[in-house]
Amino acid sequence: MASTVLVVTALEDVTADWVIAALNEREVPVVRVDPADIGPGLSFGARIGAGVLAWAGRLVTGSREVELGEVAAVYYRRPTPYAARFEHLPAQQRDFAAAEARHGLGGVLNHLHGATYVNHPSAVTAADFKPGQLQLAAQLGLVIPPTLTTNDVKQARKFAADHGPVIYKTFRSLPRDVDGHTGAIWAQRVDPDTFDATLTVTAHLFQAEIPKTGDVRVTVVGKKVFAQQIAAPDGALDWRRGDWDALLHAPIAVPGAVETALHSYLATFGLVFGCFDFGLTGDGNVAEDWVFIECNPNGQWGWLPDAGDITAAFADILSTSTEGGGR
């Protein structure tokens, strides 16, 4: 019977470290791998056919090795992009080698027969589009802000006139620059008088500003739900832009209708885990007070006060899979 948990993540990942430590305490075999290490530090051989109906073979790292058929669960965190492994190559060779690694090694790791994925990369990709998130949330009965995505100046101005004040937010985080540095564009109020022809260059996301009384991060792991109300000392519109160590947290109960919708949301996208952000417009006692903002299907949770309980929830799902509870 398959008994190993494969943790797919980058070398330095404190969140993965916690889950691995919890699995070690339960004496669950764990193999950690960053697929971007493919080369002398990571080799594999996978075969199928001639009576072999699922990928079989061996994955070998500098310190671990595992038979693919022994993998009962995969904890897919945030591995290094394949392109980083080949960045020293000319552009065409880099892109070719990265694509081959992603489709070859990644294709095998993403199709391990019978393994439980938390979460499967294809499910994460499908759930990562904010327009899809907002549509599903609305269809499940959650309150969402009036939203417009557009590259049309006139539509943006009309939306602002109808729903102002208006907030702009990005669909994705900023990519790395040529020096490898990352950055962020936080949710921010925008003046429709500044809308001009530059808006037509790409897509933009505008939302009516919510008269918030607070923010909530809800972390759902399997059937377990962890919710923390969050306040920034400076009252920032986007609490993520400041010092996370200065944030104020308090546990909050999730209304039953909202919790039911969150489980349906994850099931629809084929997810086991998700980090949901809500804005509150009241005291939070009724579902109507909870305004859905977004869901990160591979979000951070290690900074939350209940990170220990969340870690245990991950370990519960992954270790149960090694005991015969996997798909």
Distance CA 151, CA 9 (A): 36
Residue 237 confidence (pLDDT): 79
From the list 11, 148, 153, the residue with the least C-alpha distance to 79 is 11
Q: What's the Rg (C-alpha) of the chain?
A: 22
Instruction: For residues 293 and 319, state if they share a domain.
Output: no
Give me 327's structure tokens.
């798909």
Give residue 73's pLDDT band: very low, low, confident or very high (50, 70, 90): very high
Least confident range from 72-81, 306-315, 318-327: namely: 318-327
Instruction: For residues 58 and 140, state if they share a domain.
Output: no
Q: List, for residues 230-283, the tens digit of each pLDDT value.
A: 988 777 778 777 777 788 899 999 999 999 999 999 999 999 999 999 999 999
Q: List, for residues 33-56, the tens digit of each pLDDT value.
A: 999 999 999 999 999 998 889 999
Instruction: For residues 235 and 277, state if they share a domain.
Output: yes
Q: List, for residues 6-25, the tens digit of each pLDDT value.
A: 999 998 899 999 999 999 99
In order, the DSSP letters of 252-270 are: -PPPHHHHHHHHHHHHHHT
Give the angle subtended at the CA of 285 by the CAs of 211 and 279, to the nearest 5°: 30
Q: What's the average model confidence in pLDDT over 120-131?
A: 96
Give residue 326's pLDDT band: very low, low, confident or very high (50, 70, 90): very low
Sign of the Cα pseudo-torsion (243, 245, 248, 251, in order): positive
Q: Which domain holds residue 48?
A: 4-119+309-325
Distance CA 112, CA 261 (A): 30
Distances (CA, A) of 22 to 17, 25, 170: 9, 5, 35
Strand order through the sheet with 65-67: 42-49, 52-61, 65-67
Q: How many CA atoms lie within 13 A of 69 on its CB side?
A: 10
Q: List, for residues 140-177, the tens digit of each pLDDT value.
A: 999 999 999 999 999 999 999 999 899 999 998 777 66
Instruction: For residues 131 and 278, state if they share a domain.
Output: yes
Look at residue 327 and tell me whether its pLDDT is greater than 50.
no
User: CATH code at 59?
Assistant: 3.40.50
Instruction: For residues 156 and 92, state if they share a domain.
Output: no
Give me 59's structure tokens.
């994955």
Please, is 172 exposed, middle or buried when counting C-beta atoms within 10 Å of its C-beta (0-12, 13-18, 19+)? exposed
Residue 181 confidence (pLDDT): 65
Instruction: State the CB neighbour count (10 A cutoff) for residue 88.
Output: 7
Distances (CA, A) of 253 to 180, 193, 229, 265, 300: 41, 41, 9, 19, 20
Q: List, for residues 186-207, the tens digit of each pLDDT value.
A: 888 999 999 999 999 999 999 9
Give me 110's structure tokens.
């993403």
Give residue 128's pLDDT band: very low, low, confident or very high (50, 70, 90): very high
Instruction: For residues 140 and 271, state if they share a domain.
Output: yes
Look at residue 119 and tell me whether its pLDDT is greater than 90.
yes
Its pTM surpasses 0.85: yes
Instruction: For residues 72 and 133, state if they share a domain.
Output: no
Instruction: For residues 260 and 145, state if they share a domain.
Output: yes
Q: How many structural domains does the chain have?
A: 2
Q: What's the average model confidence in pLDDT over 79-106?
A: 94
Look at residue 316 and tell me whether its pLDDT is greater than 50.
yes
What residue has token string 């073979």? 57
Give residue 324's pLDDT band: very low, low, confident or very high (50, 70, 90): low
Instruction: For residues 255 and 172, state if they share a domain.
Output: yes
Give the amino acid at 294: E
User: CATH code at 184?
Assistant: 3.30.470.20
Instruction: For residues 146 and 221, state if they share a domain.
Output: yes
Instruction: For residues 247 and 132, state if they share a domain.
Output: yes
